[in-house]
Structure 1
């Protein structure tokens, strides 16, 4: 069985998952946080059951501790120590490869890519387009290659799935020379999730992916919607950065760029102030004081006007994008919801689609209210469009793509 170690390296964190790809089962996962500032380590070992064999009463074990972790090199040493102490043994489950989530591949990378010194240099060069993410991804790659010297390392890019966008979809109406010099275009993000969900939805429905027009709504703290035609990204809401598009937990999504000029001139706000405002102090957080949809729902239920408005703005933006993307596709066969909000908030799903009756979209209220694991259909039997909840699994998708190139 081929085992892949999946790495998601952040500026002060290291998330990892050990996956047996053929059986699509996770053997262990962990998270090392506050790297360089204290260190919090959690490691989870999953029960190793064979197909058809009942799982034991205790499905998994969790281990947590606080310990100083100076940098990503030390984080990898801590991770290896967790495997050695708590299992599963990497000697018994040796990784065939290490798959790395890399946020930005620019226009250079459109598929999973074996990491060579030149590829590493290119990922680092793309940090100008993703200064909060790519430098951390590079730090994780370097530390991982030092820790696992004898296996291939593969970069899987968030932007790669959207490299099928047509020029009309990815081009901004900006001075061409300026845009070209500074590599300004729409790149799209959450590509790994959109790819996984769209393929899972087609399999669930027994449809040929090439013949299905889909909308995938990835609604978490970050949120995006992608129109997928025959398995290829045709339009997506995030753009040059993950800031564009839908209302998110702390991000504005779409906003008139002249607002920034106005705030610079009238409020004296500088670049860093505007960056923080748009990315950290806006969205649900800016409208209602919390980036957690559960708080918004609770406030709305008790008559909190700010929470009610935040909810309405969120849904209004969803409807606008759904309508636009159905028009771009010339119709839609499947609409899938995924990620924390998409998978768990029935009201959001119902309200986002409530105006699509003229297209024959009909939810079944009982199905929509059910919460549980796995893919499920929430549309009525007579709905002209299948509506699904599809739990995303970006780690499994990264592991699959990693194996595909080695």
Structure 2
């Protein structure tokens, strides 16, 4: 990496970790825009193998190779190696995606010991994601000592939900302890709202569909309802997560089937969803390939589509109608079959899909007669993290200057 001052704006390194992958990016932020200098991802493949791929925006630097069975704790080191070889500017700050910050951490914040303690205290709110994020932060602090680290929360976007949507039907004593609907994929939703700009409709539904999936109702750019709840386990059927489930089932498993809280957590977060239904995989691409000869794979796909259509209709109810539906996330952006299933199920709402546009992956896939615009847009979570991080870094630097004696 070269000196940080050789860029037009503020250089931000971003980390966006999931349970089995780590996206990273280097952005030059100036004038409210985050221009990618380099983007990449480390992801697990079949059989436990790990692969790294990254490319600079100019195309002059590109890597794509296997890391063998590299454990997640070593991944940051591989990212640092990529950055050093790229000869790009060093970051002025590092932004991290945090799925959950609990009831106290709801806005981007500079990471210090108090923030880390608070994140440790809410591990149970997102047990698949928070431990991995904390490990990433710790590793980044080791490789970039003295570089400001900033936490950006998926829950921030949903703080505008009214009480009727955010309150869970539980006693007040539990609600006072932060047990409520938080909502997730907020950084993705923010990026969609930003992308739409002047084309943002009054009533928008965002379907972020990947291994984790959620649907959010947005009115005039603000979240008013969403499918996930206290944790990222609720809502839609997902790759490995159950989505919404009768609580009585959980009690039955604890009382009568020998489950413990630990084995129950593994069941609902890692062994269920489309993986559990199909008995094959959580990856929709593999399920699509298997469906013609494997009835359970076909059932998993059908159940996911049914779950999605029901949630889209529910969010339309929260909005009193819908002007636009945006599909995003890995499945939303790339699986035309899922989009077609949802559109067909919502024909009664005046939704009409253009099959040719959908198959081609066009940005607008609704038919000319559709009363609801259907769009396919890429989630830009990493750019959103970079924007938040640059804003917070600038505010922090201004505060330090204001505190200097005159």
| Residues 126 and 232 in structure 2, CA contact (< 8 A), matched pair in contact too | no
Structure 1 CA distance for aligned equivalents of residues 214 and 20 of structure 2: 24
User: C-alpha root-mean-square deviation of aligned residues, in Å?
Assistant: 2.8
1:396 is aligned, of 357, 370, 383, to 383
- In terms of mean alpha carbon deviation, does 146-155 or 104-113 score higher? 146-155
One of 155, 160, 163 as aligned partner of 1:167? 163
Give, in angstroms, the shift of residue 303 of structure 1.
Answer: 4.8
Q: 1:224 to 1:33 in 2, by over 3 A?
A: closer
Return the alpha-carbon distance in structure 2 between the equivalents of residues 70 and 365 of structure 1: 42
Pick one of 182, 185, 190 that aligns with 1:190. 185
Residues of 2 paired with 1:352 and 1:99: CA distance? Answer: 35
Q: 1:227 to 1:379 in 2, by over 3 A?
A: same
User: What SS does the aligned partner of 2:136 have?
Assistant: helix
Structure-to-structure mapping, 1:285-300, within 5 angstroms:
285-289=275-279, 290-300=281-291
* Deviation for aligned residue 1:134: 2.3
Q: Secondary structure of the equivalent of 2:176?
A: helix
2:404 aligned partner: none
Q: Deviations over 1:221-275 (max 9, x none)?
A: 1111011111111111111111111011111111111011222233222222222
Tell me the SS of whatever aligns to 1:184: coil
Q: Structure 2 CA distance, aligned partners of 1:368 and 1:15?
A: 27
Equivalent in the alignment of 1:28? 38
Gapped regions of structure 2 (runs ≥ 5): 1-7, 394-406
- Three-state SS of the structure 1 residue aligned to 2:325 is strand
Distance 1:285 1:330, change over 3 A: same
Equivalent residue number for residue 18 of structure 1:
26
For residues 1-400 of structure 1, the aligned pairs below 5 Å read: 1=8, 2-8=10-16, 15-22=23-30, 24-31=34-41, 42=52, 44-48=54-58, 60-64=61-65, 66=67, 72=73, 76-84=76-84, 86-89=85-88, 93-181=89-177, 183-200=178-195, 202-203=196-197, 206-207=198-199, 209=200, 212-289=202-279, 290-300=281-291, 302-371=292-361, 376-400=363-387
1:31 is displaced (CA, Å) by: 4.9
Q: Give the count of matched residue pairs.
A: 379
Per the TM alignment, residue 316 of structure 1 is displaced from its structure 2 partner at its CA by 1.4
Q: CA deviation at 1:381?
A: 2.2
TM-score normalised by structure 1 residue count:
0.84
CA distance in 2, matches of 1:80, 1:295: 32
Separation in 2, partners of 1:76, 1:336: 33
Comparing 251-260 with 105-114, greater Cα deviation is found at 105-114
User: Contact 1:114/1:154 (CA < 8 Å) preserved in 2?
Assistant: yes
1:69 & 1:294 partners in 2: Cα distance? 24
With 1-10 and 345-354 compared, the bigger mean Cα shift is at: 1-10
Structure 1: gaps of 5 or more residues: 49-57
Runs of 4+ deviating beyond 6 Å: 10-13, 67-71
For 2:66 and 2:344, the matched residues in 1 are separated by 46
Q: CA deviation at 1:164?
A: 1.3
**SS, match of residue 348 in structure 1:** helix
Q: In 2 relative to 1, CA 171–44 (structure 1 residues): closer, same or farther, beyond 3 Å?
A: same
Q: Encode CA deviations 1:335-380: one digit per residue, 9 max, x unaligned.
A: 00011111111121111121333332211111111137xxx10011
**Alpha-carbon contact 1:198-1:216 (below 8 Å) kept:** no
Structure 1 residues 185, 156: CA separation in 2 closer, same or farther (over 3 Å shift)? same
